Amino acid sequence: MSRKLSQVLEESGLPLHFEAFGEAPAEVADREVKREPGPRAKRLRDLYYQTLSSATNEFPYWYTRGYMALEGEVPVVRRALALKCAFAHLTPTIFPGELLVMGKAHYYRGSFPMPWLSEGYYMAKEDELYQAALDKGSASADEVSQFGAGGGNVTRSFGNVVSIAGKFGIRREEVPALLQVARAWAGKSVDDLGHKYEQMVPGYEVKEAIMKAVVCMFDSGYTLPQGREVINYYYPLQYGFDGLIEMARERKAEVAGRADGDGMTGMNRLYNYEAVIHVLEGVQAWILNYAVEARRLEAKEADPAQKREYAGIAECLEWIAHHPPRTFREAVQLCWTIHVAVLNEDAISGLSPGRLGQVLWPWFEQDLAAGRLTEEEALELLECQRVKFTCIDCFASTGVVGGVLSGNTFNNLSLGGLTADGRPACNRLEELILEAGIRCVTTQPTLSVLYDDRLPEPFLLHAVECVKTGTGYPAFMNNRVAIEFLLGQYGQEGMTLDEARAVAIGGCLETSPCSWLPLTLASNSGRAPDGGTYLIPGGSGQPTSVGVHFISLPKILELVLFDGVDQRTDLRVFPAHGRPLSTYPELFDQVKAYFARAVEVLSLTNNIQHDIWRKNNMAIFNSLLKPDCLENGHLINELGYRYNATHNVETCGTVNLVNSLAALKKLVYGDRVVSLDEMREALRENFGFKRADEVGSYSLADQEKRAEGDVYDRIHYLCLTAPKYGNDDPYPDSILREWEEWLCAMCRDYESLNAAPYYPCQISVSTHAPMGAATSATPDGRLAGTTFADASMSAYPGTDREGPYALFTSATCWDHTRSQNSQLNLKIHPSAVRGVEGARKLLELSRSYMRKGGFHIQYNVVDSRMLREAQRIPEEHRDLVVRVAGFTQYWVEIGKPIQDEVIARTEYEGV
C-alpha cells in the first residue's frame, strides 16, 4: 500500500501539523453563533436550497433577434435597441411569499449565456449538445433530487434537462434554438473578433503558449468584461427613470450636431443619449411586465394576505418604473432592480452593491421616524434581499465559473468606513444588515467592514459576532490603506481625499473608486418624505479587475528552472533564456524577466479584447448609472466614467513562489547542499510521489509515495524544512518584500487601453486550485498538481508555526498601499473565539493586523473535522458555508481541490 506524505514525515520526525497554538478539543465543535431568519426568508431560502442552477435562451434569443434586424445602425444604438428588445420580452415570474421581486431570468436561480461575447463553447459542443437535446431520457423526481450532493449544480444531463459546462441545466427544447443563436455570432463575437486582432500583436505565439500551459488562467475581454466594481444606484434613486429619460432628451437636443471642441468623440454624444433612452425604456417595460404579472396574480389569488402582497408588489413596481422611490421598501426594490438590470446587460461577476446601508439610510431614517416602517420590517426585507442576491448566477464557461469563481458571483456589500469629512460612516441600518447576515446565512451578498480605528466598538463587535457564525463574512478591509491606494492610482484623474473616503469594495476585495452624490428625497413622491439632502456613496469607476487575469507565479518559476518549457505539456512557453542560473540574483532576475514578458504580451492582447468589447458591446445601462456619463454624454467606451485607470495584473501563488525562492536561495546557492540539477530532477520526479490527480486529493498531506520514490527523500526533507513565509523570519520575508516592491512598480510600466497605468491585484479567488493542478512540484516541497496556498498573504497550510502575530509581521513587511489589495485568510477553531472574551480577542486580532498595515483579513471559524464530515456526507450539509478566498460559498458547490485546500489550512486553536 502506498504511503502518504503525512506518514513519511511522521517517520522522519517531521510530523505535519495543521493545528497551531494548541490542540482542537476532543469533540467536534459547531459554530457558537446560530440564529434563524424570519419565516418568510426561511421559506424562500429553503426554496433556493432545492433549486437547480438553470439557464434559458429567452434573453439571448430576443437580444440576437433585435440586433440582427438592425444591420447598419450606429453601433451604440444598435446595441441599445437589442437590449431593449431583450428586456421587454423577458417573461416575469413571481413566487408566492416574495416581497422583493424580479430576477435575471424567469427561473428562481436563472441565468443565460451571452454568445455575443463568446459563442465558441457552443460551436465546439454543438453536436454533443444537440444529441443531448434529442435523446429523451426519463424524468423522475428521484433523478432530480440526487443533485443535492452538488448543491444546485446540474453536473450531468437528465430527463428533459441538458447539462451545460457541468453547472447549468437547460431545457432540451431550448437547445437547438440556443445553438442557432450562437451560430449567428460566429465571427462577430468579442471572442472571435478579439482573437482575430490580438494575433497581430508581435510575439502572439507566446500568449497562446501561456494559455495552454496555464501560466495565465483566462482572457478578460470576453469572459467577464465587467464587474469587480461598485454599482451606483444614485441617478434612478434621485431622478427616477422618467426623470433620466427627460434628462437624456434635453441633453440630446443640446448636443445634436455639435462637437463642442472634441473632434474625436463630441458628435458621439447624440447617439449615446439616444441609446440611453432606448435602454431605459426597455428596463421600464421589463419592470412593468412584472407589475402586470403581480396584478394578474392578485386577481386570481384566493388567500387575502397573499392577495394584498401581490397588490403591494404591483403598486411598488408601477411606481418605481417611473419615479424615485417614496419609501424604504421601494428604494430596496429599485436598488435590486437596477442591480439585476446591470447583470443582464453583460457577463459580470463581482458587481458590488457598495455601501448599501448608507445609500438606503435616508429612506430608512425617515420611514422609521414617520412610523411607516419598523426595524423588524426592515430586517425582513434585508433577509429577503440576501436570498435574492444568493439566487444570482453568472453564466460563463466551466473554466471561469468553476475554476475561478467556484460558482460564486461576489456581490460584496461594504459597511463602515468614513464620511466625506472623516467621521465614522456606519449607521443603524448597517447593524441590521449585519444582523440579517447572522440570521439569514447565505453566500450573497458577502460583507466587508471598511475598518477604521474611529468606528465604534459596538459596531465592530457586532461584525465579530457575525464572523463567529462561521459564514466567513464580514471581512475586514483597511480603510486607510484603501484610501492611500486610491489617491496614488486615481490622483491623476482628480481624486481628492474627501472623494477617496467614498471607497467601497468591488468583487472579492478589489479596492474601487467611488464618489459622493447629493440625494434629496423626492418632492414629487406624493407621500411627502421629510426632505433633506444626504451625501450618498456609489461607484464611479470602470471595472477594477480586468486586464491580465491571474498569472501563476510558481509556474513562472518552473519555466525559469526548465529554460522556458512547461513540464506538464512539454510545450515551449518562453524563448529559452539560456542562463546558467549560477547565482541567486540571476535566478530572481530571470523570474522577473519571464513574468514581465507574460505581462507584456497579455496586457497587449487583453487591451485588444477589451477594445473590441467596447466598440460593439459597450455598457449602456451601467454607464448611465456612473458619474459623470449622463452629464458629459460619454459612456464607458469613451471614458465617460469619472475614474478610468482601472486595469490590473492579477497574480496567484505568491507564497509558494516566495517559499520556493527561499528554498533555492538557501539549499542551492547558500548552503550548497543540493545542486540545481539535483533540484530539477527531484521536481521533475515529483520528489518520488504520484501526481495529485492519480491520488484523488489535492492536499499535500494526502499525497502518496511511488514504490521507488525514496531516492528523493533527502531533497524533499530539505525543501520542506527550508525557511517558510509566515513566521516572522527575515529570510523569506525579505524575498517577499523584494518581490512586492518590484511587482508594484513594474505593473505601472504597462498601459491599459484607457491610456492609464496598470496596478497589481493580489487575490487568488479559486485559481490556486486549477493553477496548482497544472504546475509541477515546487522547491518549497509542494507536490505536483496540489493546490497552491490560498490568497496572497495566507501561509502555506501547516507552515505558519509561530502564531498569527508572527504571520502578521511577515505579511506586512511590504507596503500594501502600493497594491489594489492583498489577502489573508485565517482558519480558527470555534472554541478559540468562544464567548465575549473570544469575540474581543478576535477583534483585537483584526485590529492588530490593520494597524500593522495589512489590507485584508477574513476568517473561517470552523472545526476542520466538520468539513471532512461534510466532504464525506455532502447531502447532510446543504447549508454549510465556508470562506474560500474573498467570498463565501456553499461547501457542496465547490470543487474537491478547493475543499481539500480549505480543510488543509492551518487551524488556529487559540488567538
Partner 1 sequence: MSYHLDCRNYAPLDVAKGMCHVRKEIILADGTSCELFERLPKCKHCQHYTPGSEAYLGVCQAEATRAMTYPDLAGVTCEAFTWAVS
Find the shortest distance in angstroms from Cβ 185 to partner 1: 14
Candidates 55-63, 348-356, 610-618, 748-756; binding stretch for partner 1 (CB under 8 A)? 55-63
Nearer to partner 1, 337 or 787 (CB): 337
Phi, psi of 133 (to 5 degrees): -70, -35
Q: Which long-range contacts (CB under 8 A, 24 or more apart) does 873-879 make?
A: 874/148, 874/149, 874/150, 875/148, 875/149, 878/49, 878/148, 878/151, 879/49, 879/441
Q: How far is the CB of 292 from partner 1 (least distance, A)?
A: 9
In the set 174, 430, 510, 558, the catalytic residue is 510
C-alpha 801/C-alpha 676 separation (Å) is: 28
Q: Which is nearer to partner 1, 151 or 854 (CB)?
A: 151
Quick one: 129 exposed, middle or buried, by C-beta within 10 A (0-12, 13-18, 19+)? buried
CA distance 459 to 84: 43
C-alpha distance from residue 831 to each of 828, 891, 907 (Å):
8, 21, 11
Q: Does 171 bind partner 1 (CB under 8 A)?
A: yes
Q: Using the structure block, give the residue that is written with the C-alpha cell 440582427.
A: 68
Specify whether the CB–CB gap between 75 and 417 falls below 8 A. Answer: no
Helix (H, G, I), strand (E, B) or coil at 492: helix
* CA angle in degrees (0–180, nearest 5) for 158-185-644: 105
By CB under 8 A, name the one of 3, 32, 42, 88 that touches partner 1. Answer: 88
Say what the alpha-carbon torsion angle 516, 522, 527, 529 is, to the nearest 10 degrees: 40
Show the cell assigned to 495. 481624486
Torsion of CA 202, 207, 209, 214, to 10 degrees: 170
Query: Minimum CB separation from partner 1 for residue 604, in Å?
Result: 38
The answer to whether residue 159 forms part of the interface with partner 1 (CB under 8 A) is yes
Least Å distance, CB 106 to partner 1, is: 6
Stretch that binds partner 1, among 47-55, 682-690, 733-741, 812-820 (CB under 8 A): 47-55
294 binds partner 1 (CB under 8 A): no
Q: Using CB under 8 A, which of the segments 166-174, 431-439, 514-522, 554-562 binds partner 1?
A: 166-174
Q: Grid coordinates in use for 97?
A: 411569499
Q: Which of residues 813-872 bind partner 1 (CB under 8 A)?
A: none
| Cβ at position 539, least distance to partner 1 in Å | 31
- Nearest-5° angle of CA 873, CA 878, CA 883? 100
Q: Helix 654-663 and helix 730-746: axis angle, to 10°?
A: 130
* Window 91 to 110, contacts with partner 1 (CB under 8 A): 91-96, 106-110
CB of 157 vs partner 1, minimal distance in Å: 11
53 counts as binding partner 1 under rule CB under 8 A: yes
In the chain, the amino acid numbered 699 is: S
With respect to partner 1, which residue has the nearer C-beta, 300 or 872? 300
Nearest approach in angstroms of CB 88 to partner 1 is 7
Distance CA 774, CA 295 (A): 54
User: Toward partner 1, which CB reaches closer, 51 or 848?
Assistant: 51
Which of 508, 629, 652, 747 is flagged as catalytic? 508
Nearest partner of 736 among 766, 762, 759, judged by Cα: 762
Angle at 896 between CA 892 and CA 901, to 5 degrees: 110
Number of chain positions touching partner 1 (CB under 8 A): 51
Q: Which is nearer to partner 1, 45 or 634 (CB)?
A: 45
Does residue 741 have an active-site annotation? Answer: no
Nearest distance from C-beta of residue 127 to partner 1, angstroms: 14
3-state helix, strand, coil in the chain (%, to 5): 50, 10, 40
Q: Is there binding between residue 401 and partner 1 (CB under 8 A)?
A: no
Q: Which of 1, 141, 264, 873 binds partner 1 (CB under 8 A)?
A: 141
Contact flags string 62-81 toward partner 1, x per CB under 8 A:
---x---x------------
Stretch that binds partner 1, among 176-184, 238-246, 514-522, 774-782 (CB under 8 A): 176-184
Kindly tell me which of 184 and 587 has the beta carbon lying closer to partner 1: 184
Q: How far is CA 537 from CA 148, 235, 243, 503, 783, in A?
A: 40, 12, 20, 8, 46
* Contact call for residue 135 and partner 1 (CB under 8 A): no
CB of 94 to partner 1, least distance (A): 7
* Contact region with partner 1 (CB under 8 A), list: 7-15, 54-62, 409-417, 503-511: 54-62
CA atoms of 225 and 348, how far apart (whole Å) = 7
- Tell me: does residue 169 bind partner 1 (CB under 8 A): yes
Nearest CB to partner 1, comparing residues 186 and 211: 186
CB of 136 to partner 1, least distance (A): 10
Note whether 536 binds partner 1 by CB under 8 A.
no
What residue type is assigned to position 710 of the chain?
A: D
From CA 554, how far away is CA 658, in angstroms rounded? Answer: 9
Binding of partner 1 by 61 (CB under 8 A) = yes
Instruction: List the grid coordinates of 58.
Output: 429567452
Residue 875 bears catalytic tag: no
Q: Does 52 bind partner 1 (CB under 8 A)?
A: yes
Nearer to partner 1, 89 or 626 (CB): 89
Applying CB under 8 A, does 144 fall inside the site for partner 1?
yes
Exposure class string for 431-452: b at 16+ Cβ within 10 A, else e: bbbbbbbbbbbbbbbbbbbbbb
Binding site for partner 1 (CB under 8 A): 47, 50-55, 57-58, 61, 65, 69, 88-96, 106-110, 133-134, 139, 141, 144, 152, 154, 158-161, 169-177, 180, 289, 297, 300-301
Residues recognised as catalytic? 508, 510
